[in-house]
Amino acid sequence: MRVSLKVADVAKETGALLQNYLEQGGLNIDRLAPITISYGVPHHGLKCLNGRCGGGDKMRRLRQMNDGGCRTVPWFAGTQIPSAFQFPALARRTSGHGGEDIVPVFQSQEIPWRIKAGWSWFSSYIPVKTEYRVWIFRDKHLDTYEKVMHRPEDYIYIGRNFRNGFDFEHISDPPKGAIAEAKRVIQLPL
């Protein structure tokens, strides 16, 4: 079967990783073929494989994850702060991409100010030891990458992304708990 690959920007790490992974797996990339694979980028109005990632309603997805028994960062929406919630926190918008919607909240008095300024929900700030990107397709673990700081001179705002100096490094022995949790998340309804 001929398959067409549409990658948003192979100059960016995620696009390059996806293209490389598929090519190493023996996929014959034919840009004129009738089928398109995308990692969240619309292509000529067609739906893509994970089109709801990276910009969908994050609060709705967090609710689904909580209801499905998946671990999430402590979070809330509205002005009623849960008693166990700890500051500092991060204010987030309902949709956002690349950490551009993240602003710090240092104390509870700031919550109504952030809501009036357009932020939708709040999560506790939890220092990150390690962050993984686990690739699961159906119930099969395809690969795992760790986010690693490579360019500290690019670190200018809150967020662990490419623009802020982080890259993905392939890891050959991912934590089994991360794989199990990723599999649990993809079983949830979208």
Residue 87: CB partners within 8 Å, gap ≥ 6?
105, 106, 107, 108, 124, 125
Instruction: Choose one of 102, 124, 146: the last residue of a domain.
Output: 124
- 47 and 90 belong to one structural domain: no
User: Can you give the pLDDT of all 190 residues of the chain as single tens digits?
Assistant: 455 555 555 555 666 666 677 777 776 666 565 555 555 555 555 555 544 444 567 788 888 888 888 888 899 999 999 998 999 999 998 877 677 788 999 999 999 999 999 999 999 998 888 888 888 877 888 889 999 999 999 998 888 888 889 988 889 899 888 999 888 888 877 6
- 64 and 107 belong to one structural domain: yes
User: What CATH number corresponds to the domain at position 75?
Assistant: 3.30.1490
Around Cβ 77, how many Cβ atoms within 10 Å?
15
Confidence at residue 45, expressed as pLDDT on a 0 to 100 scale: 56
Confidence at residue 51, expressed as pLDDT on a 0 to 100 scale: 45
**107-to-69, 111, 115 alpha-carbon distances in Å:** 29, 8, 14
Question: How is the chain split among helix, strand and coil, in percent rounded to 5?
Answer: 25, 25, 50
- 150 and 169 belong to one structural domain: yes
Around Cβ 83, how many Cβ atoms within 10 Å?
5
Q: DSSP label at 11?
A: T
Spatial distance between the Cα atoms of 173 and 129, rounded to a whole number of angstroms: 17
Q: Which two tokens stand for residue 117?
A: 């300024």
Residue 19: CB partners within 8 Å, gap ≥ 6?
5, 7, 10, 29
Strands, E, within the chain: which ranges? 4-5, 36-37, 75-77, 89-92, 103-105, 121-124, 131-137, 140-149, 166-170
Name the maximum alpha-carbon separation found in the chain: 59
- Dihedral of CA 142/61/83/103: which sign? positive
Confidence at residue 85, expressed as pLDDT on a 0 to 100 scale: 94
Q: What is the pTM of this model?
A: 0.67
- 39 and 66 belong to one structural domain: no
- 80 and 113 belong to one structural domain: yes
- 39 and 78 belong to one structural domain: no
Q: Could you give the number of structural domains in the chain?
A: 3
Confidence at residue 22, expressed as pLDDT on a 0 to 100 scale: 72
Confidence at residue 31, expressed as pLDDT on a 0 to 100 scale: 59
Q: Which two tokens stand for residue 14?
A: 């995620």
- 62 and 93 belong to one structural domain: yes
- 113 and 151 belong to one structural domain: no
- 67 and 119 belong to one structural domain: yes
Confidence at residue 110, expressed as pLDDT on a 0 to 100 scale: 97
Domain span at residue 72 reads 58-124
Instruction: Choose one of 108, 124, 140: the last residue of a domain.
Output: 124
